[in-house]
Amino acid sequence: MIIRFGAMLLVALVAPAKPLVDLSGTLPVWLQAVILLLVCDFIIWCIHRSFHAVPFLWRFHRIHHSSPHLDWLASARVHPVEQVVFSAALTLPILFASFSPMAVAIYIGVYTLHANLLHADTRLSFGPLEAVFTPPRIHHWHHADQVEAYDTNFGSQLVIWDRMFGTAYRPEAERPSRFGVDMPPAENFVDHLVAPFRGQLTQTSDSKILET
């Protein structure tokens, strides 16, 4: 939380004194929240995809994927470098478009609850809403250590971006048979912190990145 707040504060210091667009006084709060969801979710999709595609960035993101048992605590298993990048990027639209504090609070509340649900050990279904919002079952496949699921389901809350860019994966199987990454770091904070700075990287044919 401290790292996330620090990243947001840094962006606030370099942001323009006057927002490029002031939405807080021109649109209702619910519409601001919807716009914020769409914009931030697309930013998350782009950054998330980059953290899988770029070997250097994958070093940090693989810490998030290293949990062999997926549960709600996995949502907090994030390297500080990755936290800084995501937090700074998500602060930009909030500052540059001047969303109302209530709209921001609604988005952060929904995002936090949904993020925990996505990683929880649950088979909760969203019913018809799964056509719009990512259900836990689908995000579980993003964490699967199975070739057919690699580099899929990058969307955080919405399914639209994965469908638009061809990275959606919705198998008939209810749940992956295994989670995690090859050669995961030891299960302690220090190893998670320093693991991205150790070893060299090789890119395998199945697009999983391994440390050698």
Strand partners, 179: 144
pTM of the model: 0.82
39 to each of 19, 61, 91, 106, 151, how far by Cα in Å?
16, 22, 11, 14, 22
pLDDT (tens, 9 = 90+) of the chain, 212 residues, equals 545 554 444 544 455 556 566 677 788 999 999 999 999 999 999 999 999 999 999 999 999 999 888 888 888 889 999 988 988 888 888 777 778 888 889 998 999 999 999 999 888 889 999 999 999 999 999 999 999 999 999 998 999 999 999 999 998 887 888 898 988 888 888 888 999 998 644 333 334 444 43
Residue 7: the pLDDT is: 46
Q: In what helix (H) or strand (E) does residue 211 lie, and over which residues does it extend? A: strand 209-211
